[in-house]
Amino acid sequence: RQRAPEERLLRVTQVMQMFSTSRTTIWRLCKVGSLRSVPLNGSPRFRQSDILALMVGEAPRGPTDGLYRGRGKELARGDGRR
């Protein structure tokens, strides 16, 4: 039986570098549901595939649909429009 390939998990600082943004903005994206963290030994990590999907404008994968609600799209776009 084959094992699924393991996904790379990124630290907050790595995500900050990828988006060229602040830690506050990363947590704001989490708060509105545009980005989700995964706990690993008490530290938040982010799936690389979720980060790449957000960069191209796709919703993160997962059991919940509709994570792009409210201000999430505007924050992901970075333009602040409603």
**Closest to 37 (Cα-Cα) out of 11, 59, 57:** 11
Confidence of residue 11 (pLDDT cuts 50, 70, 90): very high
pTM: 0.63
The mean per-residue pLDDT over the stretch 61-65 comes to: 48
Length of the chain, in residues = 82
Give the pLDDT of residue 62: 54
3-state secondary structure of 19: helix
Strands in 43-47's sheet, in edge-to-edge order, are 9-10, 43-47, 38-40
What is the number of other CB atoms lying within 10 angstroms of the CB of residue 37? Answer: 19
